[in-house]
Amino acid sequence: MNYSKAFVRWNWIALVFIYLIFVAGSLVRITGSGMGCPDWPKCFGEWIPPTEESSLPDNYKEVFSEKRKKKIEKFANLLESVGFRMEAMALRTDKTLLEEEDFNWRKTWTEYVNRLVGFVAGNMLLLAFLWMLVKFRNRKLLLIAGINLVLMVFQAWFGSIVVATNLVPWTITVHMFLGLLIVGIQLYIIRLISPSQQIKMSQSNLMMVLIWTVFLITAYQMFLGTQVREEIDTLVKQGYSREQWLATVGWPFYVHRSFSWLVLVLLGWMTWTNEKTTRYKPIRWVAGLLAAELITGILLAHVDMPAFVQTMHLIFASVMFGILTLLVFRSRLVTKITH
């Protein structure tokens, strides 16, 4: 089936907005704005948040703390019902989750913009799904797009859980990987509808193994990076200096650092093989992104975690993940044709 250029372009733009959620989320995190809005989907009970504390009631902290308490209890019940009893108990017994921050209009509006970006991305996926339903009616495409739309809605709901639990670290990790899953599915949709993505990639079995290996390690690296970031956030809150958290952060940091060199070696091998044979541009892009990723990683480890570099580190990693995902999709297609 041939899809219109406008439809293909719309899905590419939707992908850009999904990536902008990562950027906005990173800015929220590095500015400490995660609790800038104590409720969800509204912000301080309004669709457009306030700019001054004087517009809030005197007891606003107690009001939103009580609302959070009820939401935490519901989520703890859900966790307990599916077997996560320890996590449920940890939520119920951690009284720090009910502590409200003082109003700060900068943090409030940073978080609000993050939500607006997510709202736009979600509606772009909804319109794309309706477009498919009315114009193309491809069952496979509708099923995949429907799954991604449901995931986006679930991601928005889970964002409320992240807020309700006062940024409990493991919820942030789940939130990020739901985002990566949405990116992967959106890329698969683009793979199916975009003529530019139908080019067959001639490859050896070695190249296919390298692509899959680098893809899997990169995904694991992003998981470890999130763990490191969460541990550092906890240590900073406890008053540790950079020298202290480097000695305290634990094995995820060292595994994350060591795996970076493993990815470098494997991707170097993949790039060398590519330059000898097909000179495929996406592999060159991945190599360039990895170089940028390693540079920002070194800066994060040795230059006191500068905020801008944290955002760039996440952007490079997520874009690299996206290109590797497309390479994996293409390698699957070529394998089926070959056999």
Position 202, amino acid: S
Q: Report pLDDT for 304.
A: 61
Contact assessment for residue 191 and residue 197, using Cβ atoms and an 8 Å cutoff: yes
pLDDT tens digits for range 10-27 = 999 999 999 998 888 878
Domain ranges of the chain: 1-198, 199-339
Question: Which CATH fold would you assign to the domain 199-339?
Answer: Four Helix Bundle (Hemerythrin (Met), subunit A) (1.20.120)
Q: Which of 44, 50, 86 is nearest to 68 (CA)?
A: 44
Q: Report pLDDT for 182.
A: 94
- Looking at per-residue confidence, does 260 or 115 come out higher? 115
User: How many residues does the structure list for the chain?
Assistant: 339
pLDDT tens digits for range 304-325 = 656 677 778 888 888 989 999 9
The H or E element that residue 76 is part of is: helix 60-81
Q: Report pLDDT for 202.
A: 56
∠ CA(319), CA(224), CA(17), 5° rounding?
30
pLDDT value at 337 more than 50: no
C-alpha pair distances (Å), 140 with each of 1, 51, 188, 212, 274: 12, 46, 11, 25, 33
Percent of the chain with pLDDT over 70: 85
C-alpha pair distances (Å), 191 with each of 150, 188, 197, 322, 325: 20, 5, 5, 12, 10
With 0-12 / 13-18 / 19 or more C-beta atoms within 10 angstroms meaning exposed / middle / buried, residue 60 is middle
State the pTM of this model: 0.80
Which one of 4-13, 217-226, 237-246 scores highest in mean pLDDT? 4-13
Report the range of poorest mean pLDDT among 56-60, 77-81, 200-204: 200-204
> How far apart, in whole angstroms, are the C-alpha atoms of residue 299 and residue 304?
8
- Within its chain, how far is the Cα of 134 from the centroid? 30
- Looking at per-residue confidence, does 297 or 50 come out higher? 50
The H or E element that residue 237 is part of is: helix 205-237
Which one of 16-20, 75-79, 230-234 scores highest in mean pLDDT? 16-20
Residue entry with tokens 């920002």? 296
Report the range of poorest mean pLDDT among 135-139, 151-155, 329-333: 329-333
pLDDT tens digits for range 164-188 = 666 666 777 788 888 889 999 999 9
